[in-house]
């Protein structure tokens, strides 16, 4: 982040005072920018191309401030003062005396260049000219003027009055004084700025839109439903919105323009080449919320309320109506953190559980871990003592697989080595009764390889729990090409009985969550590696600009760089997408033993915190 009190070539920076600003374009973003300035005591000249467009912009601003008053976030007197600071005008000539102009018109380079050429003619010589572009080249916009050193990118995020982040984008000729003035202005507006150079997508969009495009590709290929893709990323990663719902909010036409621009400007990375479905939907007028239909169907154009349509899944009246098997007793094989959590989840949900480990000592450790976790639930008031005792009473401890002969479901949670899992499933195939569901919790290995170690691949499914299993609400139900519909339905019913959300996907590396999450994390490492921005600024950009609960480097250090590298390698090996190749910096840090929080050092030094 910037420091406004820095010195430039030994001179202290004295930021200029912006007493009036102009905003060109009063759509959702432009009206929001007007509100940000007027809220902070700055006089604004709000400009549109016509009287009708001007009235629409006025209505947008009035509606936003009225909602703020209704929610108790803005006093009526403050709203009235805010609106009094805004001078609505038609035409750019009204901007002749402002100190700063921010352009917020549609993302078309030729349009922006024409506007900047006209602003260059109209505005006073010392005025700063800024663009709110999210993907176009600020440099290409600046050369339409005779003052490219006074042109800068000021990229607000939507909704501008709420989102804290502003990306300040300097070109190779932007004056250092201009950058410092804009950084100080952001601070005055109560925003957090990250200052970066002019590159396709800047920070947030460069990382966000590759992920969104990948999610659309997943949906287009029928890998998973729209609901399951969105639920997976919300529940598995804590994101505020799923990727397809977010595409609808952004607008598919806008998303297409951003992706297409990033593809052409950013080295023609295939992952930024818009998925064909996006162009088809735009052509068909399915633009998202603003048109009332995109990936989802909305109550009316502009409404956030999703209504059922022909693709909405129909809830089954009875769990047994769709051919699910009755599950009463569950076997869990393994003694690690994941196995311990899964045992607790099933026992609390009322299932009889047979825990199988490699010996009495391992069983004793698992018992203590489960008991400790349940006791914490009692202390926190989330579990009664009677429920705790009942849960513990449902667990049977064993060191032999033969005790799984009569269970209805086996969940394997052993080490992530294919040979170990295949050997275990071959043994389960011999021991377990016919009709038992055999599930693996693998997060990265092919489920079909495990299934084919048995003579009953139709009964094998992936149940990918997330850590910590008692807390995380998501389970990925992974069906292979041999998994029966009955087995998948049974697995889904079990997830529901556990109080979890089960999302169904195919047997492909990374499933839904890891396949979408880790390429995004890898892209962040490549951005750092290229010295485009700092780890802190990249983390700020994704948390404040996109609402992510953690920045990519915070998350990498928590997950473990070795784990992240292993998953990224699996994705690259299976999908053979050049953009998925692990970032060399990630490989070097793992080689050096910098694995994240668990070793005290990853992208950050945690020993000093």
Q: Are 538 and 552 in contact (CB under 8 A)?
A: yes
Phi, psi angle pair for 242, to nearest 5°: -75, 160
Q: How far apart are CA 253 and CA 311, in angstroms?
A: 22
Q: How far apart are CA 407 and CA 400, in angstroms?
A: 13
Contacts of 483 by beta carbon, 8 Å cutoff, 6+ apart: 447, 451, 457, 458, 460, 461
* Residue 205 annotated to the active site: yes
Helix residue ranges per DSSP H, 11-144: 28-39, 51-70, 76-84, 109-122, 138-142
The DSSP 8-state label assigned to residue 155 in this structure reads E
Phi, psi angle pair for 601, to nearest 5°: -150, 130
- State whether residue 395 is helix, strand or coil: strand
DSSP string across 134-153: SSS-HHHHHTTSS-GGGEEE
Q: How far apart are CA 152 and CA 169, in angstroms?
A: 6
Q: How far apart are CA 265 and CA 257, in angstroms?
A: 12
Q: How many CB atoms lie within 10 A of CB 586?
A: 24
Q: How far apart are CA 102 and CA 157, in angstroms?
A: 14
Distances (CA, A) of 490 to 495, 497, 498, 504, 508: 9, 10, 12, 12, 21
SS (H, E, C) 219-237: HHCCCCCHHHHHHHHHHHH
Q: Are 491 and 328 in contact (CB under 8 A)?
A: no
Q: How far apart are CA 319 and CA 327, in angstroms?
A: 11
Residues 2, 134, 137, 213: which is the catalytic one? 134
Structure tokens that stand for 65 in this block = 């401030």
* Residue 403 annotated to the active site: no
DSSP string across 564-583: HHHHHHHHHHHH--GGGSPP
Residues 205, 213, 509, 533: which is the catalytic one? 205
Residues 35, 48, 107, 167: which is the catalytic one? 167
For the chain, the maximum distance between any two Cα atoms, rounded to a whole number of angstroms, is 85
Residues 155, 214, 272, 464: which is the catalytic one? 155
Distances (CA, A) of 289 to 250, 342, 379: 8, 39, 45
SS (H, E, C) 462-482: EEEECCCCCCCCEEEEEECCC
Q: Are 294 and 307 in contact (CB under 8 A)?
A: no
Q: How far apart are CA 84 and CA 41, in angstroms?
A: 10
* Residue 155 annotated to the active site: yes
Cis amide leading into 277 (omega within 30)? no
Q: Are 251 and 288 in contact (CB under 8 A)?
A: yes
Contacts of 65 by beta carbon, 8 Å cutoff, 6+ apart: 35, 74, 79, 82, 83
Q: Are 606 and 597 in contact (CB under 8 A)?
A: yes
For residue 585, count CB atoms less than 10 angstroms from its CB and return exposed for 0-12, middle for 13-18, buried for 19 or more. middle
* Residue 175 annotated to the active site: no
Q: Which residues are catalytic?
A: 134, 155, 167, 205
């Amino acid at each position: 982040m910037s420091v406004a009190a820095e010195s430039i070539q030994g001179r202290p920076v004295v930021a200029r005072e912006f007493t009036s600003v102009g905003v060109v374009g009063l759509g959702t973003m432009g009206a929001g920018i007007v509100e940000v300035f007027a809220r902070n005591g700055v006089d604004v000249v709000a400009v549109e191309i016509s009287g009708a467009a001007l009235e629409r912009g006025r209505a947008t601003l009035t509606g936003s401030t009225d909602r703020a008053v209704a929610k108790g976030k803005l006093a009526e007197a403050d709203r009235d003062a805010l609106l009094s600071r805004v001078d609505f005008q038609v035409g750019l000539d009204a901007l002749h005396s402002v100190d700063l102009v921010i352009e917020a018109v549609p993302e078309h380079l030729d349009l922006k260049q024409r506007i900047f050429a006209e602003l260059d003619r109209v505005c006073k010589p010392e005025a700063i000219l800024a663009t709110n572009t999210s993907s176009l080249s600020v440099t290409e916009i600046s050369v339409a003027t005779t003052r490219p050193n006074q042109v800068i990118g000021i990229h607000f995020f939507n909704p501008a009055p709420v989102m804290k982040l502003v990306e300040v984008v300097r070109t190779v000729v932007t004056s250092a004084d201009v950058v410092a003035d804009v950084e100080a202005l952001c601070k005055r507006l109560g925003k957090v700025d990250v200052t970066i150079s002019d590159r396709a997508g800047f920070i947030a969009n460069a990382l966000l839109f590759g992920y969104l495009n990948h999610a659309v590709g997943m949906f287009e290929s029928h890998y998973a439903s729209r609901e399951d893709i969105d639920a997976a990323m919300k529940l598995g990663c804590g994101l505020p919105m799923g990727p397809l719902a977010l595409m609808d909010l952004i607008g598919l036409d806008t998303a297409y323009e951003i992706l297409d621009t990033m593809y052409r400007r950013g080295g023609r990375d295939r992952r930024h080449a818009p998925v064909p479905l996006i162009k088809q939907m735009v052509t068909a007028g399915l633009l998202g919320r603003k048109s009332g239909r995109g990936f989802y169907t909305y109550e009316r154009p502009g409404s956030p309320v999703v209504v059922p349509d022909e693709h909405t899944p129909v809830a089954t009246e009875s769990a047994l109506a769709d051919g699910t098997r009755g599950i009463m007793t569950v076997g869990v094989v393994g003694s690690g953190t994941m196995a311990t959590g899964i045992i607790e989840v099933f026992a609390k949900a009322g299932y009889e559980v047979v825990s199988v480990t490699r010996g009495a000592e391992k069983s004793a450790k698992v018992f203590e871990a489960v008991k400790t976790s349940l006791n914490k639930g009692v202390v926190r008031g989330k579990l009664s003592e009677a429920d705790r005792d009942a849960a513990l009473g449902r667990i049977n401890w064993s060191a032999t697989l033969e005790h799984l002969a009569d269970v209805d479901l086996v969940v394997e949670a052993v080490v992530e080595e294919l040979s170990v899992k295949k050997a275990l499933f071959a043994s389960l195939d011999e021991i377990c009764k016919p009709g038992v569901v055999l599930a693996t919790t693998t997060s990265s290995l092919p489920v079909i390889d495990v299934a084919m170690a048995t003579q009953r691949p139709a009964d094998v499914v992936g149940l990918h729990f997330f850590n910590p299993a008692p807390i995380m609400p998501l389970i990925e139900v992974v069906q292979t090409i041999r998994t029966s519909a009955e087995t998948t339905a049974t697995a889904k019913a079990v997830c529901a009985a556990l109080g979890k959300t089960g999302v169904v996907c195919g047997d492909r590396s990374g499933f839904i969550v890891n396949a979408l999450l880790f390429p995004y994390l890898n892209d962040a490492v490549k951005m750092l590696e290229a010295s485009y921005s700092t780890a802190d600024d990249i983390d700020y950009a994704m948390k404040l600009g996109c609402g992510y609960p953690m920045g990519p480097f915070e998350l990498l250090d928590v997950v473990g760089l070795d784990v992240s590298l292993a998953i990224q390698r699996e994705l690259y090996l299976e999908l053979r997408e050049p953009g998925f190749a692990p970032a060399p910096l990630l490989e070097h840090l793992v080689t050096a033993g910098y694995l994240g929080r668990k070793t005290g050092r990853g992208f950050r030094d945690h020993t000093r915190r």
